[in-house]
Amino acid sequence: MTAVSMTMPILIVDDYNTMIRILRNLLRQLGFTNIDEANDGAAALAKMRAKDYALVISDAHMAPMSGAELLAQVRADQRTSALPFLMVANDADDEPAPAASSTIMKPFTAQSLKAKLVPVIGAF
């Protein structure tokens, strides 16, 4: 298994700017430096068409396209079908997204985020 690159491109997708900022800060605390953001699923898909990402972290609850709908489109596209995808859920009542690589519940810390990422992208 190759070492995880701290410069690998990561896409954060959330319709709430504060959550994007929190996730960006947590990823920076963990050492990642190449972080893009999208405020909705359509913008995320456009960015994924333009750039190859190594990881997508998406909120489950977005409008007009939910995280699950975004994930379905990512999995349906041959180019991104195996892309590591971390779903951010608000609470345990959220529908699990079996196609997601992993799911993390809010609120979370840098350490709990790392614990979810290691099985998905490898140790770092």
Q: What is the pLDDT of residue 91?
A: 74
The sign of the CA dihedral 46, 120, 34, 68 is: positive
Mean pLDDT score across all residues of the chain: 93
Which pLDDT tens digit goes with each residue over 13-30? Answer: 999 999 999 999 999 999
Does residue 63 or residue 111 have the better pLDDT?
A: 111
Q: Which domains does the chain have, with CATH numbers?
A: 1-71+91-97 (3.40.50.2300)
Q: How many CA atoms lie within 13 A of 36 on its CB side?
A: 19
Sign of CA dihedral 118, 32, 65, 72: negative
Q: pLDDT digit string (tens) for 51-83? A: 999 999 999 999 899 999 999 999 999 999 999
